[in-house]
Amino acid sequence: MLPILFLLSSCSSDEDVSAPILSDVSTPVMPTDFEFSLTYGTYGKQKVDTFHDMVIKDLVIYGTIEVEIPLTVEEKNLIYNEMLKLNIMGDWTIDRELQCAAEPSSFTSWHIQMNGETKEFSYGDFCEYPEDVRRLIDLEDFIHDLVAAKEEYQELPDSNGWYE
């Protein structure tokens, strides 16, 4: 009988419940100094640069085109949260010994600023991509898809040709 009384008293609704509600936990707030520049793709000819609200699209045989395409606060916040999931400002060591020559070559370079810190790193092709680099490539694809969906980007000329 004692356990039942204990259970009933703990379930009483007369008590003031002041424990935090887990659903109130919100996503981290993007710092006001959050900016990044991502150079990527074949020969590193594409770029998304929030420092200058600039995008470079590789048109292959027609060269490149540079245009002003700002990301919205919501878009930057999505990217910021994806970067947090990767701990992108943490200690990244990319094993250059695993990189190998490929033709055409691919190149990626990151320059990230947040919370008063700056982080830069780059990498090329790998024969077998380490998990960390695959996650960075997924982030690169996420950013590219976000930019490519913007009306300003869709109005740009299509890429023509291919790299051999």
Indicate the pTM of the whole model. 0.81
Identify the band that residue 85 occupies on the pLDDT scale cut at 50, 70 and 90. Answer: very high
Render pLDDT for 16-58 as a digit per residue (tens, 0 to 9).
433 344 434 566 899 999 999 999 999 999 999 999 999 999 9
Q: How far apart are CA 154 and CA 26, in angstroms?
A: 33
Domains recognised in the chain with CATH numbers: 29-153 (3.30.1560.10)
Q: What are phi and psi of 64, to 5 degrees?
A: -130, 160
Separation CA 48–CA 158 (nearest Å): 17
Report how far residue 5's alpha carbon sits from residue 127's, in angstroms, rounded to the nearest whole number.
66
Residues of the chain with pLDDT > 90, as a percent, come to: 70
SS3 35: strand
> What pLDDT, on the 0 to 100 scale, is given for residue 26?
60
**Cα–Cα distance, 64 to 79 (Å, whole number):** 24
